[in-house]
Structure 1
Amino acid sequence: MRRFLLSTLIFLTSGTIGLAQQSELVTLQTRQDSQGWEGVGRLDIANKGFCTASLIRDRLILTAAHCLYDDNGSLMSPSRFEFRAGLRSGRAEATRRISRVFAHPDYQHEGNGADPEEVALDIAVLELSQPIRTTRVRPYQIATHPITGDEVGVVSYGRGREEAPSLQEVCSVLGRQTGVIVMNCDVEFGSSGSPVFVVRNGQTKIASVVSAMAQVDGQKVSLGTSLDGPLSTLLAHFAAFGPASPGGTQRIMTLGERNDTGAKFVSP
């Protein structure tokens, strides 16, 4: 999880929109608590730490693209990742190794800094070595992007809450800019890649992926990636590579160039 200081890049006007009262984080400690959230898991990264990821197909998980990169800026081998769906107190509903990793084709990893375009494309899919097909762990559907004032929820792992996921059932979208969603959801280091949920037509769907923490006028906020457009592009490129070769191989997509605005988030 990266932390940035937002200044004039994203404009938020206090008190101009009606926002729901934030709910507190609830640790999903029991099987009953976790019902419906088993598709969210901890993405363990050997010799680095962990992120959060969620199942969107029986063999595909969604997370933040920056989770795929080592401290030196290189893309990590799939062998360093392991997905533990519904992990609670050392036990997971399903555990899978990773065969291939795919960042958004236009994502550029900046390391210590980031600009709005990086956050807007900060998504990746990882292909599991074996599909997850159980009645308890089901893939999530994707929703259209949330708008300012929408209520959303986040399920995440994070520093100090590594052993069980935490649910914040209600937080709010404060604003949007060029594919970046600004929220008041409570996230922490390790929460990168966490799914941001909305309820549409009675179904819980993923509407964004947590990318970073930030500050606006001294207030902690979270930044998410809008999935409209970027996820379709990412999945199309994933499909273009076809089935994995025996044993799995690492593939990174580098198609296309990004127009750089030069605007940067500044690390506090």
Structure 2
Amino acid sequence: MRQLIASALMVLTSAFAATAQERELVTLQTRQDSEGWEAVGRLDIAGKGFCTAALIRERLILTAAHCLYDSDGSLIAADRFEFRAGLRDGRAAATRGVQRAVAHPDYMHDEALTRASAVAMDIAVLELDRPIRETRLRPYLIAERPLTGDEVGVVSYGRGREEAPSLQEVCSVLGRQTGVIIMTCDVDYGSSGSPVFIVRDGETRIASVVSAMAHVGGEKVSLGTSLAEPLTTLMAHFASVAPARPGGTQRVMTLGERNDTGAKFVTID
């Protein structure tokens, strides 16, 4: 997780007035707590640390592009990644290696300077070495970009809570600027790549991916990528650089394509 100096981000001064119903982070301690969220996992990076990622296809996970880079700015070899879906107290619902990692083609990695333009393209997909076909690990749908005022939620791993995922059921979208979604979601180091969920048509879908932390008007905010166009571009790029597997071809993802995820949020009256 990176920090961004947010003086260039324009947020309405009244944005923080509408957050009274927000929920605190809750650790998903039991299998019952985690039901529907098992396809979110910790993405371990040998010799570096970890990010958070989510399953969007049987062989594909979605995370932040900056997770693919080492401290010296070099790309991390695919075999240094391990995806541990639904990891809780040392046990994962599924563990997979990674055989290919592809960042958005327009993402420019600069560890020393985090810009809004980089956040807008800060997404990557990683191809797992084996598909995940567990019944309770269903890939998530992708949603249209969230609007200002929308309620969203986030499932993440983070510093001090590495051993189990945490769920914040309700946080708010404060605004959007140049492809960046500005939110009140509570994130920390390790939360990079965390899926931001929204309910659309009765289904829980990924609406953004957490990229960075920032401060606006003295308040901590989280920044994510608007997935609509960037993800379409990323998937087309992935299809062009990743050879088709024997007996099939790479498919470009479309928004709203059905995956039948069982994740649910609690309705707030």
TM-score (normalised: structure 1): 0.89
Structure 2 partner of 1:207? 207
Q: Which residue of 2 aligns with 1:95?
A: 95
2:211–2:225: 8 Å Cα contact kept in structure 1?
yes
8 A contact 2:51–2:192 mirrored in 1: yes
Q: Deviations over 1:129-173 (max 9, x none)?
A: 000001011100000010100000000000000000000000000
Instruction: Report Cα offsets for 1:26-64 as digits up to 9, x if no partner.
Output: 100100000000000000000000000000000000000
Deviation at 1:14, TM superposition (A): 1.9
User: Which deviates further from its counterpart, 148-157 or 236-245?
Assistant: 236-245
Q: Once the 2 structures are TM-superposed, how far is the Cα of residue 228 of structure 1 from its aligned partner? A: 1.0
Q: Give distance in 2, aligned partners of 1:139 and 1:126.
A: 14
Please give the alpha-carbon distance, in whole angstroms, between the structure 2 residues aligned to 1:48 and 1:190: 11
SS of the aligned residue for 2:9 comes to coil
Evaluate the alpha carbon distance shift between residue 16 and residue 40 of structure 1 in structure 2; reply closer, same or farther with a 3 A threshold.
Answer: closer
Match of 2:165 in 1: 165
The offset of 1:16, in angstroms, is 8.3
Measure, in 2, the Cα distance between the counterparts of 1:198 and 1:231: 16
Cα drift, residue 193 of structure 1: 0.1
1:86 aligns with 2:86: yes
Task: Please give the per-residue CA displacement for 1:163-212, whole angstroms capped at 9, x wherever unaligned.
Answer: 00000000000111010000010001000000000011111100000000
SS, match of residue 84 in structure 2: strand
Q: Unaligned 5+ residue runs, structure 1? A: 247-268
**C-alpha distance in 1 between matches for 2:197 and 2:32:** 19
**SS of aligned partner of 1:90:** coil
For residues 98 and 221 of structure 2, the distance between their equivalents in structure 1, rounded to whole angstroms, comes to 31
The whole-number CA distance in structure 1 between the counterparts of 2:9 and 2:90 is 41
- Mapped to 1, the partners of 2:205 and 2:123 lie a distance apart of 16
Structure in which a larger fraction of residues adopt helix? 2
SS at match of 1:84: strand
Percent of residue pairs identical: 72
Residue 48 of structure 1 corresponds to 48
SS at match of 1:233: helix
Indicate the residue corresponding to 1:124 in structure 2.
124
Q: Which residue of 1 aligns with 2:35?
A: 35
Alignment-derived partner of residue 252 in structure 2 = none
Match of 2:133 in 1: 133
Q: 1:205/1:20 Cα in 2 relative to 1: closer, same or farther (>3 Å)?
A: farther
Alignment partner, residue 108 of structure 1 = 108
Distance 1:180 1:226 in 2: 6
| Residue type of the alignment partner of 1:69 | Y
Unaligned runs of 5+ in 2: 247-269
Q: Give the secondary-structure state (helix, strand or coil) at the position aligned to 1:33.
A: helix
Per-residue deviation, 1:100 = 0.3
How far does residue 237 in structure 1 lie from its aligned partner after superposition?
A: 1.0
Q: Is the 8 A contact 2:4 2:115 kept in 1?
A: no
Distance change >3 Å, CA 16–CA 140, structure 1 → 2: closer
Give the Cα separation in 1 of the matches to 2:16 and 2:190.
Answer: 32
Between the aligned partners of 1:196 and 1:147, the Cα distance in structure 2 is: 13
Cα pair distance change 1:218/1:28, threshold 3 Å: same
Measured in 2, the distance between the counterparts of 1:10 and 1:71 equals: 30
Q: Distance in 1 between matches of 2:64 and 2:71?
A: 15
Counterpart code for 1:40: V
How far apart, in 1, do the equivalents of 2:80 and 2:242 lie? 22
Corresponding position of 1:21? 21
Structure with the larger RCO, 1 or 2 (CA within 8 Å, 6+ apart): 1
Deviation at 1:19, TM superposition (A): 4.2
Amino acid at match of 2:44: D
* Mapped contact 2:3–2:114 kept (Cα < 8 A): no
Whether the aligned pair in 2 keeps the contact of 1:99 and 1:244 (CA below 8 Å) is: no
Q: Does the CA-based 8 Å contact 1:20-1:172 persist in structure 2? A: no
The CA deviation string for residues 86-123 of structure 1, in whole angstroms up to 9 with x for no partner, is 00000000000000000000100011212111000000
**TM-score of the superposed pair, with normalisation by structure 2:** 0.88
